[in-house]
Chain A
């Protein structure tokens, strides 16, 4: 009895600890004051969201918003999408190759390869960013979009590899053997048997790689040079000595909504697949 009450208490505390900041963030994104506050309620507003589409005149009229560089923010966000647009497909290809090699091409070096391929995921992001900066600098490539992509790719590719490996291990080897026995070339086996089987895993891996790329801050921070991304720009805005503008809270709220939406869709899709 008491132990179950303790457990409930603990669970409740845990959930509050986890979700209270998010709830506060959502609430402040609708409060008409800057820097964000819940205690100082100045009325409901949608302007922290409307910042992204309100016309130039209205923007200039607002004392908080006029200090922000909307064009730059949107540009950085565009950069992030471009980077993810390159990182995600490359990470999928790399992850897929790694997963196929580790599961189907049994060799003595597999144990070592596994650690080598996954070490970027475990290494501190700062180290990755710094090493990318130094490495590409020595080669003579200026830090920028390219170095961000190179640095992110080193660790983002690990996620697809893990996800695809988990699924590959569940596919009976006999399916591929049967296809080979029926005369199929390795390429055809891969295209007709293995790839369709992996499709759901590839989708999940793509989503996760996308999120990992978009939200990455520390590695990108070092590799970015003069360019910027969505995450680094939010970071820059948050460092405002007068407190950050609630626009960031609005952006955070949108991200939460998107994430929940993704997760629910994914769960529904999986349930349908199992049925």
Chain B
């Protein structure tokens, strides 16, 4: 199996009710890449996959796979295989027949396709389940049947629509590793959809972050996590502290921002102009207690300590305005007595100035303080 590249040129999708689910989008997925599309529910991820696999026709733009224009090709003639959000295994066929179905559709003889199906079931460690019906399998096993079924047609591009969302955490982590190694083994291009940021970060070569029908940033996991291009990306991928403010000085790659905690120095990768209102983003793991350096330092009150296991989450209230700040620190034992007054701060290199923009809902903001 050989992966092919996928190119989207100005692709937009409008549904029949007039709703534009995907705004004009350019995207290049390289051959043999594990590429994730990450975004909140309803942002248009499934719609993009359905456009690539041929179930919806773009209102504008061009989709190319391996350099070949896909316009007018129905799903059964594209070199893609889609793994549906709900798997869509054929309930009345045995697991083996499920896997062999794509070959059956291609007119492969019964003996050959069954041999091929058995080989694929061995690959996903289900060789002994071939005669069962899908309904008799566990969630993780069904998942693997869906993968084997999709791989059976030797697709150049495998499209996966949140395939792990129905599984419990342990199984999900296990399947992540399996998917990743399967991708490496087969060399097929994977386009993987998820709204789980840690899933995208652990598995992908590159990630596209989507919001409201637009791709906001494409890059490696490190890129996206450490150098988010927008307020949305910064707040959707991982946790983040936000400090709104105004730029009062520029010092090369850095900017000084007036915030409720006083002047804060942070990186300014987008070269935001002097006087512009902006937001400073700092990851909780970059916040230190009683820091050495004099810059970006402020008084805090410890409001609450949540034990997470390997690390602790400290909820701090900073400065006069009691600005909430979250810090993740390595768990060094039951220290940090509550309400103790101390100082906190962060390295200017760990903070980022970005234009104001919509923030992602992480579900954390509603937690009782």
Contacts and interface: CB of A to CB of B under 8 A. Distances in A.
B276 to A, nearest CB: 48
B106 A179 contact: no
B92 A178 contact: no
A16 B149 CA distance: 58
B86 A174 contact: yes
B88 A175 contact: yes
A59 B275 CA distance: 114
Contacts, number: 63
A183 B88 contact: no
Contact of B80 (A181, A184, A193, A197): A181
A177 B150 CA distance: 13
Interface string A161-205: 000000000001011011111111100100011001100000000
Contacts of A185: 76, 105
Contacts of A179: 90, 101, 105
A172 B153 CA distance: 22
B213 interface: no
A184 B86 contact: no
Q: Which of A180, A181, A183 gathers most chain B CB within 10 Å?
A: A181
Given A185-B105, A193-B90, A180 B76 contact: yes
Q: Which of A174, A178, A184, A188 gathers most chain B CB within 10 Å?
A: A178
17 contacts: A172-B88, A175-B91, A178-B82, A180-B76, A181-B55, A181-B75, A181-B81, A182-B101, A182-B102, A183-B105, A183-B153, A184-B76, A184-B102, A184-B104, A184-B105, A192-B104, A197-B91
Contacts of B76: 180-185
Contact of A184 (B88, B91, B101, B152): B101
A183 B153 CA distance: 8
A181 to B, nearest CB: 5
B311 interface: no
B90 A181 contact: no
A164 to B, nearest CB: 16
A182 B84 contact: no
A188 B86 contact: no
B92 A197 contact: yes
A193 B86 CA distance: 17
B186 to A, nearest CB: 17
A183 B106 contact: yes
Considering the complex of A and B, which 9 residue pairs feature the smallest CB-CB distances, nearest first?
A182-B102, A174-B88, A178-B88, A184-B105, A183-B105, A183-B76, A181-B82, A181-B75, A196-B92
Given A177-B55, A192-B101, A182 B88 contact: no
B273 interface: no
B262 interface: no
Interface string B119-163: 000000000000000000000000000000110110000000000
B84 A174 contact: yes
Interface string A187-229: 0100011001100000000000000000000000000000000
Contact of A188 (B55, B74, B105): B105
A181 B77 CA distance: 8
A177 B75 CA distance: 8
B57 interface: no
B342 to A, nearest CB: 55
Given A174-B86, A188-B105, A182 B92 contact: no
Interface string B23-44: 0000000000000000000000
A180 B90 contact: no
B50 to A, nearest CB: 9
B230 interface: no
A178 to B, nearest CB: 4
A21 B172 CA distance: 64
A193 B76 CA distance: 15
Interface in B27-80: 53, 55, 74-77, 80
B96 to A, nearest CB: 14
Contacts of A197: 91-92
Contacts of B93: 192
A182 B105 contact: yes
